[in-house]
Chain A
């Protein structure tokens, strides 16, 4: 696959690794979201598992507000819709998914990490941060649903969303949001995530079953994003 200037795709063994490139904040604007969606779609073809990682200090610092300022209100929704579609694609993916949170993950960036089956996070640097309360931004329903389903503990959810706690990996592990805190640098986190993904791929699960079980495990979230998935967009049934 041709690397673009937004994300690269590589195959390591059975693992399809998507890396958000460059030292910037990897703000989730329509262009980057589109690139990630294409990369995720490619994972369905022959990979055993998927890892999403990033270069630099940030995993992702959230939506691209700068872009949003340049477009009228009705077009801002396209960024949100693209994110919803990405979440739908991840939920419907026929392979296990692992987020390698190599740096700060804030707002939509944090939600994106949590939308994966497993989350590995850099131990020594970076934090999860739901910045909305500090930024004065309300949280729309499907977004809140990601947090409700993936952070079921009421106290953790309150501290993350209502107090805007910046959670380093160790605390996130303790509170059940992150699976493993990995010591070392960015590459160590990616390697650990890939190793985990390889183990999952080795189970050789039936992909359709993986997807169905995942959608059934997070049913409320799935119901709120399913109409946006790639499959939903493609399937057009003529009414007779």
Chain B
């Protein structure tokens, strides 16, 4: 039996003992995860510094604060989420119990990404545990140091219901320009060959397809958080200063390596110079005159991605930045102007600190431009005009929409976070995580009494029985409250009459 097979076997055996079902157990695991994050904050920070040059403050801000919030929400609300959910009854089910009961699925595989190795890998895990499942966590080994630390510390806090993830196989899963996984292909394929009850994958579309295909062989449902080119439309009437400030923050955080970073800007030609100028000012304010030496500015994850991003810049005019250093995987915050739709940089998700500006004549052209392309994960619009914002919401499709800011919709737990079309399927955060990793089972509890009502459905079938069936079952167009009361009164009379006949 291979190592991967063993790990899955152990998780399944643990799940079948029923240990992860009681709410107390799940809350205990979530609190243990919480302790893991708080007590090992230093180790997590150090690893992130080595992987992405994330500053010590950047770690809690972007990685762990969000996780802690999700854990607390889950712990507080678990009883409510896991309780049976009653549904509306009709005349025929008045005396029955009708509800939806959430149930755990079984063993869930969580495949993480390297850009926010902790946030993106552990956030789905919170929902998986809250829903009562066992889990296998497969951190991305592209973020070498973080996955090593995760491998070491998670098993120390979480019970054996989450068995130690296999020693990181040497393979790369998120290489964007390689459709087939390289390196330890056999280990990856071996893991995906196993049967899971659900798979969550965060990463790029090419590998997403492979994961979904492998899952389909076992009829395993998947949640895919993929990427896309998230457009950012700047209306000429908006406050450009504030808009650019927020965009600069959204784009250059984590060196542009955020799945919901604004990928490119759409604005009218008259705004372009002003936008470039404002971004220049903000870059200076955030990262000083020399971002290379600024502790708060990140690095590209590895040289392969560095080369990929630099290649995208070819053929476009640099308005700001462009400096780079391959040995440090450093790319300065860069803005490109007058970018053509067929430019290299517009053909794939950038995932780097390069911000192209594409000029459009107005919102109509912007909407057309967006709709000609694959549905993105996020869509940003900066405008004070609510009508314009609503128009964009109605006439485009994306995972989510955020008006007048960047990234922050990720932090609202009540909003489902997920993609559509090429940007993914399924959603999570808060209660949506719990629902995503549960099976919502429809339950109907009847009694063996009241058999009289059922007589009309049994053979031998007669026209008379059919008449009764139509009357009882067919939902009429809504008559309103009075109509329903009247119908109930008539039914009561009929029931009384039938009962009398029955008794006679």
A binds B: no
Show the binding face of B for A, using Cβ within 8 Å. none
